[in-house]
Amino acid sequence: MSDKTRALVHKDFVIARMDPHLFGSFIEHMGRTVYTGIYEPGHPAADPAGRRLDVVDLVRELGVTCVRYPGGNYVSGHDWRDSVGPVDQRPHRLELAWRAIETHEFGLPEFMEWARLANVEPILAVNLGTAGIREAVALLEYCNFPGGTRESDLRHAHGQAEPYGVNLWCLGNEMDGSWQIGHQGAKEYGHLAAEVAKAMRQVDPTIRLASCGSSKSDMDSYPTWDLETLRYTYPYVDYLAVHQYYGGQELGTATFLAQAHDFDNHLSTLASVCDVVKAEQRSEKTLMLSIDEWGVWNFWNGTIPDTAEPWAVAPALSEQIYSLQDALLFGSMMLAMARHSDRVRLACQSLLTNISACIMTEPGGTVWVQPIFYPFAHLAAFSGAQVLRTPVCGPTYDTGAGFGMPVVDFLAVHHEQKRCVAVFAINRSADDQLLEVKLDGFGDLSIGSCTTMTAPDALSTNRDDHSMVRPLLLDATALSTEGLSVTLPGLSWTTVTLGYA
């Protein structure tokens, strides 16, 4: 066994609370995310409205608190009016982002009803690629204004008398990207987003707005694009929206998992960029980060091939099959966001079903979960808990990039209402690792539960055996006056809860 990792957890060393919005997800009209994902009329598990209740049950089990919709790249060519009103009168259109036919059978009203059923808060994105101020304001009026105007009366005519009351809004999507329909430069987007934000707040001053930041940390324009756009938008928005995905599985497990270091730096950098603009503008407001697309983007071994021809309805594409090592990097990204809870106040795992997804569905058939489901669910169970600042000392490994990567990734949270402490640990080594945790300030503690998720191989998946990679009870745990001692299996995600009187 390698050298042990030691951590100090003290009740008073608090970073911030994990905002419940940290446990969001994302639904886009892309591939099978909507059609045969969350919505499949005629399925044995579907309700009369076509919503798959087996999926809804898993969304609740996952602990999702909010969901971003309808995109994504899709939103930059989307006309929201196509998605409301009688379904049989909605147009079929060419969907340019993913080269599909969009029927609009599932639209804005269906999403809002699905969100109510799943008990999640809706987050809506407005089109700033092919649309602008007028369309964004009209959509907000349709959703939030009580009545007596053209758009609010249209909502009444569509059978929804009460306003939807959508509080969270995204000002476009990935506008820094050349792939985006209506791609804009930093100054162009910054000016437009600021004007849209000002106009939307005239309709509803209570809404919270996120302006686009960089789509990835390896963009040539990063982080200058963020800095330049914020100089326009800072006074009018509440969040900088950040996206980040990681691939590189072919580089090997050690190098692949070390990308968590980049993600941690990414969050620190963008918080600093926000603070530069705060200082420049002599603002008293501290801008928060919204990581409203994030995950592991896996286009190598195990991805289901894209077989659909262009211009199909809901073609299967990018249906990534996640392995144990993918789940460990995914888990490290979650731990990093939690450690940055003082600035990261909203996050949306991408996507909810079938594409880079926690939940996989078979058309007409079963539903199952990928290994990434479990780190999300375990941490979401402690939504609202205090994240504790924990000094950690332990072995590292050489990444070849000029820094040593900790073998064990560690986080501790304190949930006062549940009267418990939870520790989360990722073992990036193929060998067992001893973790010793000194716990102070909580009084007498007792072990509530201890589970670990590992597998016979780093590349093990749940594709064929849906229960291959899942948490199991772990016995190698001891609690004494000296603290908690846990033997972490090689390549594993471990969760331990401790209660106190």
The residue-averaged pLDDT of 298-309 equals 56
Its sign, for the CA torsion 159, 163, 167, 169, is positive
The pLDDT tens digits of the residues spanning 446-460 come to 999 999 999 999 999
Q: CATH top-level class for 5-10+388-500?
A: mainly beta
**Alpha carbon distance 67, 116 (integer Å):** 11
Contacts of 383 (CB under 8 A, 6+ apart): 18, 20, 22, 23, 63, 65
Contact (Cβ atoms closer than 8 angstroms) between residue 496 and residue 449: yes
Tokens of 41: 């009329």
Q: Is the pLDDT of residue 41 over 60?
A: yes
| H or E element at residue 500 | strand 492-500
Predicted confidence at residue 318, as pLDDT, reads 86
Tokens of 500: 């106190």
**Alpha carbon distance 280, 270 (integer Å):** 15
Predicted confidence at residue 401, as pLDDT, reads 75
Superfamily in which the 19-366 domain is placed by CATH? Glycosidases (3.20.20.80)
Predicted confidence at residue 20, as pLDDT, reads 98
To the nearest whole number, what is the mean pLDDT of the chain?
Answer: 95
The pLDDT tens digits of the residues spanning 109-148 come to 999 999 999 999 999 999 999 999 999 999 999 999 999 9
Contact (Cβ atoms closer than 8 angstroms) between residue 21 and residue 63: no
Q: How confident is the model at residue 482 (pLDDT cuts 50, 70, 90)?
A: confident
**Alpha carbon distance 274, 235 (integer Å):** 11
Give residue limits of the domains in the chain.
Answer: 5-10+388-500, 19-366
Taking CA 375 as the corner, what is the angle to CA 447 and CA 401, rounded to the nearest 5 degrees? Answer: 110
Contacts of 116 (CB under 8 A, 6+ apart): none
Percent of the chain residues topping a pLDDT of 90: 92
- Pick from 475, 480, 465, 481: nearest CA to 496: 475
3-state DSSP call for residue 428? coil
Helices (DSSP H) in 234-308: which residue ranges? Answer: 253-257, 260-280
**Alpha carbon distance 371, 275 (integer Å):** 36
Q: Is the pLDDT of residue 284 over 80?
A: yes
Active site (annotated) includes residue 40? no
- Domains 5-10+388-500 and 19-366 alike in fold: no
Contact (Cβ atoms closer than 8 angstroms) between residue 395 and residue 5: yes
The residue-averaged pLDDT of 301-310 equals 58
Helices (DSSP H) in 65-185: which residue ranges? Answer: 108-118, 133-144, 150-157
Predicted confidence at residue 403, as pLDDT, reads 84
Q: Is the pLDDT of residue 46 over 60?
A: yes
Active site (annotated) includes residue 293? yes
The pLDDT tens digits of the residues spanning 373-388 come to 999 999 999 999 999 9
Percent of the chain residues topping a pLDDT of 70: 98
Q: What strands lie across the sheet with 100-102, from one edge to the other?
A: 93-95, 100-102, 312-313
3-state DSSP call for residue 25? strand
Q: What strands lie across the sheet with 5-10, from one edge to the other?
A: 392-393, 5-10, 433-440, 483-488, 477-480
Candidates 174, 280, 416, 436; catalytic one: 174
Report the DSSP beta bridge partners of residue 420: 415, 499
Candidates 293, 309, 319, 362; catalytic one: 293
Contact (Cβ atoms closer than 8 angstroms) between residue 173 and residue 76: yes
Q: What is the dihedral of CA 20, 23, 29, 31, to 10 degrees?
A: -170
Least confident of 305-309, 331-335, 417-421: 305-309
Q: How many Å from the N-terminal Cα to the C-terminal Cα in the chain?
A: 35
| H or E element at residue 60 | helix 53-62
**Alpha carbon distance 147, 154 (integer Å):** 9
The pLDDT tens digits of the residues spanning 54-71 come to 999 999 999 999 999 999
With residues binned 3-state (H G I as helix, E B as strand, rest as coil), the percentages for the chain, rounded to 5, are 30, 30, 45
Q: Is the pLDDT of residue 1 over 70?
A: no
The pLDDT tens digits of the residues spanning 388-423 come to 999 999 999 998 777 899 999 999 999 999 999 999
* Amino acid letter, residue 145: F
Q: Is the pLDDT of residue 307 over 60?
A: no
Predicted confidence at residue 251, as pLDDT, reads 87
Predicted confidence at residue 306, as pLDDT, reads 57
The pLDDT tens digits of the residues spanning 193-228 come to 999 999 999 999 999 999 999 999 999 999 999 999
**Alpha carbon distance 271, 95 (integer Å):** 35
- Pick from 289, 233, 205, 296: nearest CA to 19: 289
- Pick from 213, 200, 135: nearest CA to 168: 200
The pLDDT tens digits of the residues spanning 348-361 come to 999 999 999 999 99
**Alpha carbon distance 52, 250 (integer Å):** 35
Q: How confident is the model at residue 501 (pLDDT cuts 50, 70, 90)?
A: confident
Contact (Cβ atoms closer than 8 angstroms) between residue 168 and residue 124: yes
Contacts of 303 (CB under 8 A, 6+ apart): 318, 319, 320, 321
